[in-house]
Structure 1
């Protein structure tokens, strides 16, 4: 979802932020601002940043950005002074100015400093536009954008119209796996939880496989990530599936019979895990040492028992034809996304802010549901997957 504002570089951002704050104060407190603003502010901020040419050269740009920074700090000092009306601080334009100045500037020894790129806060909190401070920059599969994400849930019964039952709008930096539980909460609040929830790989994790069943009584069905170890990629050597885990005695046995000497509960990425290691006297002389773990500590980590067993079962199930036949019902969701984008313009938000953008998404989903209900009642068939003319010429596979 592209935000309804232009993507700005850092120099443009601070300039537009200062101008937006002055515009807000000019409406809310014109007399107060007139008494404060020096003459050069009127020349510097009378036009939008894309209406004039920015300074050329590193030295000129550095001087310019320091001037903007000093102007912003002067304005904030005046707004937060005891003599200023307290309600000025509550203006959205002033608050955004304060937040962006904290992110891009610092003051050291009474001197304004411009933060280097590596000193900026993480993308989850970095404001990209003063006009939509909730929009975030993100990247997925090589595509970069500033805006939001939308997550759609729909029914997929073959004997009923496919209708959208839930719409979730999130910041663009929110990962799919972080949205899964909130989707379940939203469906549960309206008594729309399915027995089986078909999802993409990004919406699954070992923790969610367990919590979906425990908290909502549903089966989360979707491809789980496969191991990324060297042994798994090369299909050679020994990794976690080749080791025997004794949960009761809290010990791991390697394929050569050596037993772990350490079993330590820990937390990684917010999830509970078990960290283990083996003694050097067992691993050092082992003839298959190079085919085993690459960890310098001669150990490995894995999920706690309930999560580990759920993940192992999911990996085994998704390699079967039965699992594939169940999961193929999800194929229609790609058509839903295409319908929302091409027919309803969902790729771009028409409004500023997360709440208004979410309202747009809900109204779009309602429109799609009306179209689909009409198609169902009039007997209009579902659109088929496009097949090229060349592909149609392919001979059927030989039956062994």
Structure 2
């Protein structure tokens, strides 16, 4: 398709007249056109379209339609119907009242062009640039970050259903490309075994029957892959995505011993973060947070929190559900720095706080403000907590609260890949100690061992834990609470909880456009003078007497 019009067209006189009559107070779509038309100029998307061929729908108009689609939670078909039937949308895009709009598949093609051209975040960035130009975006002050779980557009499968459904998906994909080749290599029983979705069948419940079922599926899958990678197999079937999924699932769930395929025991399985949840979305993973589990993704939202300007989302990150929040702290700050939006104070909850992140933020000139996780060991309840030991870093010696000193100092790397120091006290000094059981914390231990982070990290975490006990620190940290309202708005009003698409790139696209829509809604509320809604208090809470 060729590009005849880049941005939004002029508003036809009749469309403007009827819109003013029908919507005398205006509508959100109309205000977007009037206040933020420069965001949808479409110039950033012009290189995604050819100059030859039949005319295409203006990319600026498609960007505006996509934003409105996410604001109202519409499907592609419903959004195309809104362009054809709604006066406020015609006003926003600049269409005649009699214009029939476009086919809904155009929106899917537009998203594909944005993803292929790596311009998924263009509208999000343009909204922030507009807000900055108008003095409504202050990024050098405070910003806050939190994450929310996102349910993938899949059904999470257990291991039995996963292997069966992966084989079924590969068979369906091959049948569409090389039906005759496949029909000559399968048994009649396969049609009953893999003809329907595995989760719709009654999988065996007893351990013995489950072992027999997994062995049968494993042998069938290995037989199929042997045929697929034989010299006489069609080349096009090897390049199919479901075939690669089948290979990965078999590697992670089966092992070959003496020419036979065996089901992997739990102890021999790869880490959960490497195990897919479904053959239809290889990026989705299982996650657990606040006592609940899900299959899908995590979205990390960062927003400004200044009292004299609207709170605007400045950064969006989408990860699979297995990624810990602390792994994202430095990545978020680095991305903000690259876009010249690094804050002076970065507020986050305890999941984002560790010694390494605190020091990395300080090197970037950022104060990472959040509660460090407390020491939850048995010794921490008494006077023999790790912080009660005196550390002489120069001499590499540690003295316990009872005055015993040790120089058994061993640099190590823990299970998370963090460099630590393991300090051990001697048996001969700990056994006679009357506080041995209180210090060691076990009924069989004969000496105390402690693990320390390296000097700068050790000091940073101790200072953070001391500061968070003060009233001043708690008052400053209260500013973080508003991010939970942003997450709630994204989930309740903009459908952020569920992924519309499969795959991390498309899910991230959804989050970027959702964040852009939320920012535009907040800018619209700010420019129209709509006051912020205060914290909701239940009727029962209003009965609480004042302190």
Q: Verify same fold: TM over 0.5.
A: yes
Runs of 4+ in 1 over 6 A off after TM superposition: none
Residues 340-388 of structure 1: per-residue CA shift (max 9 Å, x gap)? 1111111111111111111111111111111111111122222221212
Q: 2:463 aligns with which of 313, 327, 339?
A: 313
Counterpart secondary structure, 1:36: coil
TM-score by length of 1: 0.92
Check whether the contact 1:128–1:135 (CA below 8 A) recurs between aligned residues.
Answer: yes
SS where residue 130 of structure 1 aligns?
coil
* Preserved CA contact (<8 Å) 2:164 2:217: yes
Question: Does the 8 Å contact 1:5/1:132 carry over to 2?
Answer: yes
Q: CA contact under 8 A between 2:353 and 2:372: conserved in structure 1?
A: yes
Matched, 1:253 2:402: no
* Secondary structure, aligned partner of 2:280: coil
1:148 maps to which residue?
297
Q: C-alpha offsets along residues 83-136 of structure 1, whole Å, 9 cap, x if unaligned?
A: 224443221100000111122222333333222334322211112211112211
CA distance in 2, matches of 1:356, 1:319: 43
Alpha-carbon distance in 1 for matches of 2:245, 2:153: 17
Select which of 372, 394, 399 maps to 2:544: 394
1:36 and 2:182 aligned: no
Structure 2 residue 513 is matched with structure 1 residue 363:
yes
**Does the 8 Å contact 1:135/1:171 carry over to 2?**
yes
1:277–1:10 Cα change, 3 Å: closer
Distance in 2, matches of 1:107 and 1:246, equals: 53
Q: Please give the alpha-carbon distance, in whole angstroms, between the structure 1 residues aligned to 2:478 and 2:493.
A: 25
Question: After the TM superposition, which residues 67-146 of structure 1 pair with which residues of structure 2 at under 5 Å, given as runs?
Answer: 67-146=216-295
Distance 1:372 1:384 in 2: 15
TM-aligned CA distance change 1:257 to 1:368, over 3 Å:
same
Structure 1 residues 222, 20: CA separation in 2 closer, same or farther (over 3 Å shift)?
Answer: same
**1:262 aligned to 408, 419, 435, which one?**
408
In the alignment, the residues of structure 2 paired with residue 50 and residue 287 of structure 1 have an alpha-carbon distance, to the nearest angstrom, of 60
3-state SS in 1 of match to 2:298: strand
**Runs of 5+ consecutive residues of structure 1 not aligned to the other structure:** none
Q: Distance in 2 between matches of 1:178 and 1:352?
A: 23
Residue number in structure 2 paired with 1:280: 427
Q: Does 1:22 align with 2:133?
A: no
Q: Is the 8 A contact 1:340 1:368 kept in 2?
A: yes
Separation of aligned partners in 2, 1:372 and 1:58: 55
Residues 281/108 of structure 1: CA separation in 2 closer, same or farther (3 Å cut): closer
Question: Does 2:312 correspond to 1:166?
Answer: no
Residues 248-285 of structure 1, C-alpha deviation per residue, up to 9 Å, x if partnerless? 22111222322113122222222222222223333332
Partner of 2:525: 375
State the 1:174 CA deviation: 0.6
The DSSP-based 3-state class of the residue aligned with 2:512 is: helix
Alignment of 1:177-256 (within 5 A): 177-214=326-363, 216-233=364-381, 236-256=382-402
1:148 shift after superposition:
0.9
Per the TM alignment, residue 315 of structure 1 is displaced from its structure 2 partner at its CA by 0.7
Q: Counterparts of 1:290 and 1:22 in 2: how far apart (Å)?
A: 62
Partner of 1:343: 493
How many equivalent residue pairs?
A: 394
